[in-house]
Amino acid sequence: MNNSNNGKNGTNGDHATGSEPVLRIRDLRKTYMQGKIPVHALDGVSFDVKKGELLSIVGPSGSGKSTLLSMIGLLDRPTDGSVFIDGVEITKAKESEAPRIRREKIGFVFQHFNLLSTLTAMENVDIAMRFRGTSKNRRKERAFELLTMVGLGDRVKHKPSELSGGQQQRVAIARALSNEPAILLADEPTGAVDTKTREVIVELLKGLSEKGQTIIIVTHDMEVARETERIITMRDGKIATDTGGR
């Protein structure tokens, strides 16, 4: 893989596919003011991600990895630099356009699932598609397809309180995939589950990647990171290393 270029040339070497990368990040910077002292949460980050890549971002607390995920997910704006998804610079999008871009291009998976407690598994997946204007019949069909794919075809009518942590996370993954996002962003997706369940979640994400889904995982868990094909290590707002995983 792209072992020693600090992520600057993500399209070189094994990352070259002859087509536009799904994600391009160029000289991304985010500076906060702590009183009168500038804090560089991101300090010139650049890398590319190809379609179907399973990539983990690791680093100590304060290294910039969560800030980076927020920039890719259009949850925050950089001080400088650019993020391109499918060749479109999302960092130039108007505030009014951001929800649509997130809905159509990005799927989110969070540590604590963020499911709606009053809705069934099917309804939690369905609701993500309503805002895109997907027809009711297609929403129901796709929700069942996705829940079956993640091994929960027999739990579609269960509410989150009736599901284990691992099952809830699988519902969350199905929901994140419902609008066929260009990129799946997973923020500590195994942080709230036990070791056995962690393995199930990781295998599920690996399987999705093999089918062409681009996935970026932010994690503190090196056991999870080592299962991905590429690991970016952040330190002090910069990319310290960009290496192959397994």
Q: What is the average pLDDT across 209-215?
A: 94
Helix (H, G, I), strand (E, B) or coil at 214: strand
Q: How confident is the model at residue 13 (pLDDT cuts 50, 70, 90)?
A: very low
Enter the pTM of the model: 0.86
Return the closest-CA partner of residue 217 out of 240, 188, 178.
Answer: 188
CA distance 158 to 119: 8
Q: Who's near 124: CB < 8 A, 6+ residues apart?
A: 115, 116, 160, 171, 172, 175
Does the pLDDT of residue 18 top 80, yes or no? no
> Which of these CATH numbers, 3.40.80.10, 3.40.50.300, 1.10.630.10, 1.10.390.10, describes 51-74+100-244?
3.40.50.300
Q: How confident is the model at residue 244 (pLDDT cuts 50, 70, 90)?
A: confident
Mean pLDDT of 49-73: 94
Q: Is the pLDDT of residue 14 over 80?
A: no
pLDDT digits (tens, 9 = 90+) for 108-162: 998 888 999 999 999 999 998 988 888 999 999 999 999 999 999 999 999 999 9
CA–CA separation, 13 and 9 (whole Å): 9
Q: What is the pLDDT of residues 75-113, one digit of tens each?
A: 999 999 999 999 999 998 898 999 889 988 999 998 888
Compute the average pLDDT of residues 17-45: 89
Is the pLDDT assigned to residue 11 strictly greater than 60? Answer: no
Mean confidence (pLDDT) of the chain: 88
User: Across the beta sheet with 23-34, what order do the strands follow?
Assistant: 37-49, 23-34, 80-85, 88-89
Structure token pair of residue 201: 């979640």
Task: Report the half-sphere exposure of 228 (CA within 13 A, side-chain side).
Answer: 27
Integer Cα distance of 40 and 77 in angstroms: 14
